[in-house]
Structure 1
């Protein structure tokens, strides 16, 4: 715990002109008896930082409070030894930039923020990084297709040892079965032999890559830098200890037997893109019904994709595959009639050159809706559709072959769906707080990873069945720390995107290993080296921590005692918020610390008519949004006092009690938006916070407190123009409700 603290107040950036710095300093030296409190006109300058470092050395300070600009800026400047506890009090963006200068309320806000900063440092200890024993640094790549091979090669080039596991007897996946691929270099419209074979040779000759073919993962246990992967081979089972995992098992085509409405199964001359690729590789594209060379071919795009009854998403490569295969037909028979019926043709970037080549070679394009395929004379087919460009019905007859551009389905969601963690049914709304049901986790028994985790053997899914954690901000990441998804198992993608994606996943795996070696977290709290601590004497084995951890970082023993896995932990502190006994904490972030910050707020007497509102915010979206309000010079209510949390999932209900008992008039909680794409940086933090809040309505009523005093809102960073309206409207509502009856007790 920091017992020798120095406070440093910046007077630059308008702070000296907007605030009474002398009165601010008295808070530190008078109320908190700090021996050192200094001001400087530019703390972020070399002289300002040198002043702090000199005091650390000469005075033996182990705690620093810097009252200046936002902690989100100048992070590279205010760096001090790891044994020094540092807190930065935001007096610029969230005080003088969004409140009037030289105003009594602005001064009171600044003083309260400084009080909370001092208390935060007093109640913190330097974290002690968790050091892995028997540390493993190799990367396990599961899947030997283009994504897996690329990830293995890139990791090996970076100096890592790699274990590559492929269930087939040969490497290459779909690309090894392809006839041609589009060139990856100018002019970007040539069809060339797949380069996967060169990549396979490179893998086989690389001494850093150990390859298992005809093999599958029997089970994976452990955590980053301690994963034990049991690999089932034809000769038995082997165990490899690895540091991180790249899952690159690819995708499979959508089941065409579900597309009977497009003629599949009713006519042998309706085939899929995969079947046409096989024909082309064998040497000739013919009608399956009689083996005759085709004279007319029609490609029907979005066959099953972008259809809520089949695949609701775009499968990314269908358009490109059809363009490539249309050119196959033209190369075989330049006089053949080739049609492409599309809903929307998607050929982004350099693929535009391929689209133009297809046009130049005589491929005819129709933008249509709901095409119907019927049998015609002599084994031919007829396509009827509405052409949306001319707003008229069209009919193409005499078609020898119809090719359905079927969608792409991740191999991670091929098995039976399993739903885990469903809460009870929703209850009616109570006052301003409604009982909320947290979405359950969903995974499929895909038999890819076979994790020995309490939370399930495979990866939880996002919408559409892809195993991401947060595809908006953190591609490759999954909800199992140290396991990264790459290629079409993660999202539908074309060849260039797959190569880039696999490279990124390999680098993320290496980054995970390097951070774990130093005892640090991976995204989004990279470099955080704090570790969860469990005071087991008071544990009631309620299992809330194991159930609510979004990342599977806590298992249980046979008596339901929590068994933490430190290298899986993302340091979100969701477990801390979940624990009703408050036995879980971090040295530099704990329940008592936040409670004491709330208690440090000066609450005016009732007759002063100055309400106090604690605004508890997520540091990932809501806090930077508040900074942007200041940068835009928008105005906020002077009654608010802001406390950032690592994640709203770490919100403990005792803080609500602390605030109300202190006489705080209202509590506003601002968390990340949560949706099917998991805008929340820690996946379920906002949902869990809202769920917990829904349980306190009865408690508030018992204390004769209005439920409207507590409000939860979700925001994303770009909502900052609307955030003042939310905050100021809540402040107005609190004024209308009236003072907290516990004020003054």
Structure 2
């Protein structure tokens, strides 16, 4: 499109009082020759917006640069339609609110930020949404237990067709083997029915839900809105095209056979929570050893949980399940002695009231660790407990039944680890730890990156511990219920509803050619200039979301509807053949080159800050909101993800004469913050190649630094920026200034 650029500078929020706006206007009209440049006292007000709309209508402006507040605010006000290009220049939070007013350095910073904004819009093109044929908005639910049934019901209630696949012959899952549920309504002293039969009746009776029982998913090919699912049943197979997938295969109880220290397998009257449910469901509440009456019960919580030798995590629901079963026994015989030995009681929310009810019913609660389970000589069992409160060992009365509250293990955590195979070429420079993908027979994805969802800590296939519940690292596939994280029944219902809504969001946005998350609504997608591809596999190896397959010649095969628009592939590509219409290697390089770098005699160093838009850039905004002052030598360019950083930008900046580059990315690790999973990790790995660039340019490696920040670390940023500036002063000016 032939661009007609309009630059609009706001005078409000202190901008007009802190900057020479005439000089700013001269940058736009004199240096760049923009067609329209206007100033307004209150640009986000009705009159200011109307001026812009009038120029679009009467002057033919189709590319708008707003020099005002952060792009993270007023985005709805400055929305002029998908057929207009828009760029925001942050003069408020990152210039006038964090630097001295009417200062030469502050003015130079504002002018450089405007230069970069105009340069960027010059290089931008209108995104063209990806449109595919035969798109489906149907939703596949894998698993017919509580979570799967609720997800299917909620999606159908919203008007979407659902395909439900359950491997067992009947629906209901684990809940079919449960006697009662904990109370969920006042006064929280009565157990409630499971309601599973009514839920099954709704699902099987819905015209929008197609149910496969005794069936498995043989394979899944394709991408969101284009998933082709092969379902195996009774020796035959059926094909379904769906738009999104809810994985609701649940969890299984931890195998207690290794808990011989608690008497399991040694004494027949040591059982699990699941065995107690079966006793009450069949109305056969007897001692397993001899069929005798049960006159006393002891529950052992955290049996094998929170234990590095077994399950290192808490399974969340075991405490309340044990209290619920304690009530089973108390309801049959109020005088029966019932012990609950616990390390900690997890009875949050309204379960606290149920916990207090069980105290009133004289359930004995002992905080401690079971050291031994022994036969008392009469066939009954005695427990020796290290009591935390008394600091001494205590023994329970003789009981007829010991119940182990074992944890839950996700159904995705079975099989031998399947690891991605990394290419031999360049392996020394790219040591990205591969995802662990566990072989199973649940989804059987036809993805180059493996047949199942990548498993995170403890084998759960969640996507992001902090920001994105329900999501996995495979776009369009949403784990829900206890396959995603340990949870109780009530939370599983909420989880199922959330996953169904996520699946609906996925199919609706994908059908419009938009990204789903976290850049929801983004209509750009990566384009590949295949003529220069060297089949190095860097893009397929590094994509955190499995968005790129490979053909038989190792050429990348992008799947645009799987893509989350992070740009990691763009940063990975050594040939720079991957770009977006509104985000490319050349665009950021030109923005860097547009910075006005004073010569060394002016003693005004320049620092390029490449900031992740998800945490680092908002943190910089937060510093401005709190008027935290920092060095004005910085020039900030937001990146979609630090993992999209291409090392050519480092060479561009240093060749330009910029004195230092600070890469601000999200935190990483087990409880990672990176919205795109591996951004900061990849940036750190690429630092090894950056050192090669610096050595080639005969420059100090200290001129490039990586810092990890979360949005709440805004208060650290002035110190980080100022310390880096001091280090650069020690190193002296970049010798490439003026060349």
Aligned mates of 1:348, 1:148 — CA distance in 2: 25
3-state secondary structure, aligned to 2:229 = strand
CA offset at residue 195 of structure 1?
Answer: 0.6
* Corresponding residue for residue 646 of structure 1: 640
1:335, distance to aligned residue in structure 2 (A): 2.0
Alignment of 1:362-441 (within 5 A): 362-420=362-420, 437-441=431-435
Q: Deviations over 1:284-327 (max 9, x none)?
A: 32221111111111000011111122111110110011001011
**Residues 518-567 of structure 1: per-residue CA shift (max 9 Å, x gap):** 00001100000002111111111111111111111111111111111111
Q: Displacement of 1:464 after TM fit?
A: 1.2
- Secondary structure of 1:443's match? strand
1:285-364 equivalences in 2 (<5 Å): 285-364=285-364
**Match for residue 244 of structure 2?**
244
Give the distance between the partners of 1:686 and 1:313, measured in 2 at CA: 26
Q: Secondary structure of 1:171's partner?
A: coil
Displacement of 1:192? 2.2
Matched, 1:684 2:678: yes
The structural deviation recorded for 1:685 is 1.2
Q: Which moves more between the two structures, 367-376 or 193-202?
A: 367-376
SS of structure 1 residue aligned to 2:25? helix
1:4 CA displacement: 1.5
Offset at 1:375?
Answer: 2.8
Measured at CA, do residues 628 and 683 of structure 1 come closer, stay the same or move farther in structure 2, by a change above 3 Å?
Answer: same
Distance in structure 2 (CA, Å) of the matches to 1:390 and 1:694: 56
- Aligned position for 2:37: 37
What is the correspondence of 1:605-644 to structure 2 with a 5 Å cutoff?
Answer: 605-644=599-638
Aligned ranges 1:43-122 → 2 under 5 Å: 43-122=43-122
Structure 2 SS opposite 1:406: coil
2-structure distance, mates of 1:724, 1:306: 40
CA deviations 1:577-619 (Å, max 9, x no partner) are 1100000001111000000000000001101111100000100
Following superposition, the deviation at residue 418 of structure 1 comes to 2.0
Residues 474-623 of structure 1 mapped to structure 2, 5 A cutoff: 474-623=468-617
Deviation sequence 1:145-174 (CA, Å, 0-9, x none): 000000000000000000000000000011
Runs (5+) with no aligned partner, structure 2: none
1:436–1:694 Cα contact (<8 Å) kept: no
Other-structure match for 1:166? 166
Q: Where does 1:191-210 land on structure 2 (aligned, <5 Å)?
A: 191-210=191-210
Q: Given that residues 463 and 677 in structure 1 are in contact (C-alpha distance below 8 angstroms), is that contact kept between their aligned partners in structure 2?
A: no
Root-mean-square deviation (Å): 1.5
Q: Report the TM-score, using the length of structure 2 for normalisation.
A: 0.98
Moved more, 35-44 or 674-683: 674-683
C-alpha distance in 2 between matches for 1:95 and 1:453: 46
Deviation at 1:384, TM superposition (A): 1.4
User: What pairs with 1:18-37 in structure 2 (closer than 5 Å)?
Assistant: 18-37=18-37
Aligned 8 A contact 1:377 1:398 in 2? no
Shift of 1:416: 1.6
- Which secondary structure state, in structure 2, belongs to the residue aligned with residue 694 of structure 1? helix
1:697 to 688, 691, 694: 691
Query: C-alpha separation between the residues in 1 aligned to 2:170 and 2:184?
Result: 24
* Contact residue 164 and residue 209 of structure 1 kept, 8 A: yes
Contact 1:120 1:594 in 2 (8 A): yes
Determine helix, strand or coil for the equivalent of 1:450. coil
| Distance (whole Å) between structure 1 residues aligned to residue 693 and residue 72 of structure 2 | 36
Tell me how far 1:62 sits from its aligned partner: 2.1
C-alpha distance in structure 2 between counterparts of 1:497 and 1:558, whole Å: 45
Distance 2:98 2:639 in 1: 21
C-alpha separation in 2, matches of 1:528 and 1:181: 43
Q: Deviations over 1:433-477 (max 9, x none)?
A: xx8843320111121000000000000022111111113111001
Matches within 5 A, 1:263-282: 263-282=263-282
SS at match of 2:378: helix
Tell me, in whole angstroms, the C-alpha distance in 2 between the residues paired with 1:13 and 1:594.
29
* Equivalent residue, structure 1, for 2:150: 150
Asked if 1 retains the 8 angstrom alpha-carbon contact of 2:422 and 2:541, the reply is: no
Contact (CA 8 Å) 2:418, 2:450: kept in 1 or not? no
Tell me the alpha carbon deviations over residues 678-697 of structure 1, each in whole angstroms, 9 at most, x when there is no partner: 32101111111111122221
Would you say the 8 A contact 1:145–1:248 is kept in 2?
Answer: yes
- Partner in structure 2 of residue 452 of structure 1: 446
Give the drift of 1:265.
Answer: 1.1
